[in-house]
Structure 1
Amino acid sequence: MFDLLLMSVMGLLCLIVGLLIWKRDKITLIHSYHYTNVTKENQKAYTEKMGKALIVMSIGMFLTGIVNYITNTAYGWLCFAIFFVAGLMLILKAQKNIMVDCSNFQQKNILNQ
């Protein structure tokens, strides 16, 4: 029962933060180190990708609590691992795309000078 409660609360918190980042463009909920190079033009796409990644992770947390409560097996933690890795891959992809866009932007500015 504790697993269900804990994972549900953690999943809910992650879901709320993900929705705030995605729908309300609350980029400040992400550590400033990760968005210092994000231009205003890329901010909407960046927050959308990061928010969706957190939502994927929160789904994994919910499923972990539910599966562990119902089955008392390790399958719940398998769900957690799969969804956590999927969310992490989405975050890394968003970071990579933004860094590529920023480096192209900086190269264009250097060439125009």
Structure 2
Amino acid sequence: MVVAIILGAIGALFLVLGYLLWKKERISLLHQYHYDKVSEEDKKAFCAVSGKGVTVMGAGSLISGVLVGITGSKWSMIAFLVGFLVGLGMLIYAGIRYNQ
């Protein structure tokens, strides 16, 4: 049960951070070296891809927490792993594409 609560809290936090980065374009939530070479015209696209990546990570964590709470199965951690890897891939893509 504790694992479900922790995963849910982390998921909710990441969903909020992803929303702020994606929709509100709060690029300052990231460390400066992650966006120091992003041009002003690419800032919106960078925030959108990065925010979506963080949101995917949060959704995977939240879904995993709910599934662990309901089933108690360790197999529900697959949702966390998939969300984390897809979100991380999106963050890496944004960094390579826009921070050059």
Matches within 5 A, 1:1-113: 1-99=1-99, 102=100
Q: How much has 1:56 moved relative to structure 2?
A: 0.2
The range that moved more, 70-79 or 86-95, is 70-79
In the alignment, residue 21 of structure 1 is paired with which amino acid? Answer: L
The range that moved more, 4-13 or 33-42, is 4-13
Q: Bigger radius of gyration, 1 or 2? A: 1
Q: How much has 1:76 moved relative to structure 2?
A: 1.7
**Deviation by residue 1:56-113 (Cα, 9 ceiling, x = unmatched):** 00011111111111222112211111110000111111111114xx4xxxxxxxxxxx
> Please, which runs of 5 or more residues in structure 2 have no aligned partner?
none
Secondary structure at 1:38 match in 2: coil
- CA distance, structure 2, for counterparts of residue 51 and residue 74 of structure 1: 28
- CA distance, structure 2, for counterparts of residue 59 and residue 98 of structure 1: 24
In the alignment, residue 36 of structure 1 is paired with which amino acid? Answer: D
In the alignment, residue 72 of structure 1 is paired with which amino acid? Answer: G
Normalised to the residue count of structure 1, the TM-score between the two structures is 0.84
In the alignment, residue 40 of structure 2 is paired with which amino acid? Answer: K
**Deviation by residue 1:19-73 (Cα, 9 ceiling, x = unmatched):** 0011111000011011000010000000010000000000111111111112221
Identity rate, percent: 31
Structure 1 ranges of 4+ moved more than 4 A: none
In the alignment, residue 81 of structure 1 is paired with which amino acid? Answer: L
Higher normalized contact order (CA 8 Å, seq sep 6+, divided by chain length):
2
Report the aligned-residue RMSD: 1.0
Alignment coverage as a number of residue pairs? 100
